[in-house]
Every structure is written in structure tokens, then in C-alpha cells.
Amino acid sequence: MISVDKFLIPIQQRFQNEYNLDKVLKQLNNIEKKIPTINVVGTNGKGSTSFFLSHGLKTKYKKVGLFISPAFLYHNERIQINNEPISDEDLKKYISKVEKFIKDYNLTFFEIWTLIAIMYFYDNKVDIAVIEAGIGGLKDSTNLFSNQIAAILTSVSFDHTEILGNKIEEIIDQKVGIVKENSTLYVSADNKEHFETIKNAIKVNASIIYSDKYEKEKIEYQKGNKGVVKNILQDLGIKDLSCLNLNSLTGRFTEIEFKEKKIIIDGAHNVDGVRALISSVSNKKDWTVLYGAIDGKEHQKILTMLDENFENVNITTFDFHKAWDIDLVNHINKVKNWKEFIDSSEKNIIICGSLYFIPLVYKYLLEK
């Protein structure tokens, strides 16, 4: 497996004014139309929902594709069949295959990964694919998966506002813009307050199904995710719901025993994600918090929420080009070396924040 620390994709451009993946797919005779797809959009919970759903679909379908982002420890994690990541050999082979398209069409980082997923799933004749959006839905490259069986909308809140808009209505418009004609949108119960807005945002002839929470789940913020998965699996005639007993992806409320203390690592990095994390932690006085983030607009809100719920909240930075400068953050407890902090802490620790920070922590704990 190829570590995310290793340079792999020959371009780092994330956004641009014009996207060209559709032109590449036309040149490839639109092979994406041959891939039956369930698109997953939302602000929080996309990765967990895609993970649970892919496992559930395996009880009916022989080959289930899964496309998720970002990668946690290995690049290969992004593209899977039957929950087995693409091999190093295949990944390098497909990167070589798309090099010409990258140069000819000036593809962005995420367009490249989407193209590799499409080609890999098509060549391997997957029966169905679960496709997690990167950002938004309407303008996301995963919107090009046009053979849509259904779409899922997980919890919606404010994130990537510089791209999706500053109003919840604008964000919802972008998310549900991925819904295709005559498809069905399954909406997580986490969006109850937005049901009317979601209904008004659908611009095509599509059905909407509002899911209930899965109350058997102990982690509060997974109840909505598992509820919507249960709903769609049952509608597909799948009776085996054992996938709902699984723990989520690593880095989503992952519990670790380390040096006689408990550590929870969680990629909660926006207001709703942090709120959900807080609601899932009992005996809050037993925990100290370490929060690491990238540059953004909601940090003060997040820190206020954490300070109101935990007695000891600390902020830290990490080795990443977008990591925030904690010297510019208005907070009293600043940790310069997060590794030393984890080693020396005598209390249980909740470590949360950016999905670029959490994998570094997880890797460090594994090595120790």
C-alpha cells in the first residue's frame, strides 16, 4: 500500500474555473454510464455512510465498488472493490493510463482520482458502486457518474463556504444538484430542520425518502448515517443488515488504549461535526481535548463549543501546508508539540480536527 506521505498524483491543483473530465469521458465513450451508482453527498458522515452501505450491498451484489476521500493512511483506500483497496500495481498502472488526459485536459487532483475510479470499476465490471462526493455535488466531478440508482444526503451544515455558499439554502442546492431524473434521494434524519428546503431544492423529477435514525447505534452521530443505510438496503430487497453492527472507518470516533489511558480520535472539523462528537461523549469531565485544524472560518465557534463542554481544551498545529498558525488563534492552551502532549498526558484524550491531522496522530500511536 502506498502511504499518503508519498507523492503519487502528478498534479496538486485542487480547483479551477473550468473542469474538463466530461470531455475525457466522452473520448472514452462515456464508460461511466455502464456503472450503476449510488451517490453520497453531505457535509458530515459521507465516508461512514459509504462504508456501511458498501458492506451491506455485498450481500446482494458480487462486485461492489467504493470511492471515498480523503485517504486516511494509504492512497489505495480511495478506490476499492468489495472493500479491498486497489493494489499498488493497478494504481500505478492506471496513473500511467491517465497521464495523457491529465496533460491534454488540465485535470484537477480530484478529477484524476475520479477518472481512475471510473476506469478501474468499468474494467472490473462492478455490479454497483458507492461514490462519495468530494465537495458539494452539482459541481463535483462525481456528478459525472450518470447511471444513478439512488442518492444519499447525509448531515448538511456549513463547510467549504467559499465554494458552496454562505447560506444553508445555497449549500443544499449544491448537494442535491447531484440527484438525477427519475432517481430517489434518501435523506438522513440529521437534516430534519431542512426537509422543506431540500424538497424545494430538487430541480428534477425524483422521489425523496426521509429516513429515521437507527436507534440501536450507541454513537449518537452515527444514528442518522446507519438509519439512511438501513432504509436504502431494505428498499433494494436486502434483508441482511449485519453491516449496521460494524464500527466506522478509522478516524471516526476510533477508540485506542495507549499508555494506560484511553484516546478517542475523530475527524470532527466543522461546527456540526464537533457538536455530534460532543453528544457522543459521556463523562466529559474525564477527558482532555486536543484540537488541530487547517485554515478556516469557524475555529472560534468550535473552540467555544469545546470549552463549554470540556474542562481542558488545547489547540495544536501539525506538519501540513494548510495547517493553521496557532499563534494567530485566540485561545489560552496552545500545544507546540502534539506528540509530547499525548505522551505526557495523564488523562484520557479526545483528539479531533482536520482529516489531515487525525491520520498523523493515528500513525504515531500505531508506531508507539
Q: Is the pLDDT of residue 230 over 90?
A: yes
C-beta of residue 294 within 8 angstroms of C-beta of residue 320: yes
- Mean per-residue pLDDT, 172-186: 93
Claim to verify: residue 45 and residue 185 sit in the same structural domain: yes
Domain that residue 124 falls in: 21-245
- Chain segment 316-368, per-residue pLDDT in tens: 999 988 899 999 999 999 999 999 999 999 899 999 998 889 999 999 998 88
Residue 295 lies inside a defined structural domain of this protein: yes
pLDDT in tens, 145-169: 999 999 999 988 755 544 454 577 8
pLDDT of residue 16: 57
> Tens digit of pLDDT for each residue in 36-73?
999 999 988 899 999 999 999 999 999 999 999 888 88
5 domain residue, yes or no: no
Residues ≥6 apart with Cβ < 8 Å to 267: 251, 252, 273, 352, 353, 354, 355, 358
Residue 14 lies in a domain: no
User: pLDDT tens digit string along 280-290?
Assistant: 888 888 999 99
* Structural domain includes residue 206: yes
Q: What is the CATH number of the domain that holds 96?
A: 3.40.1190.10
* Same domain as 197, residue 261: no
What distance in Å separates the CA atoms of residue 196 and residue 192, rounded to the nearest whole number?
A: 9
Residues 228 and 95 in one domain: yes
Model-wide pTM > 0.75? yes
Residues 186 and 309 in one domain: no
What pLDDT score was predicted for residue 289?
97
Residue found under cell 498545529: 317
Burial class (CB in 10 A: 0-12, 13-18, 19+), 118: buried
Q: What is the pLDDT of residue 15?
A: 54
Give the pLDDT score at 12: 53
Domain boundary among 211, 245, 279: 245
Q: Are residues 306 and 189 in the same domain?
A: no
The per-residue pLDDT of the chain, averaged, comes to 90
Indicate if 273 and 151 belong to the same structural domain: no
Q: For residue 70, is the peptide bond before it cis, meaning its omega torsion is within 30 degrees of 0? A: yes
How high is the pLDDT of residue 11?
A: 60
Q: What is the sign, positive or negative, of the torsion defined by CA atoms of 194, 195, 200, 206?
A: positive
Say whether both 29 and 76 belong to one domain. yes
Please report the pLDDT score of residue 162 as a whole number: 47
Domain end (from 210, 245, 280): 245
Say if 93 falls within a structural domain. Answer: yes
State the total domains in the chain: 2
- Is it the case that residue 179 has pLDDT exceeding 50? yes
Q: C-alpha grid cell for residue 167? A: 447560506
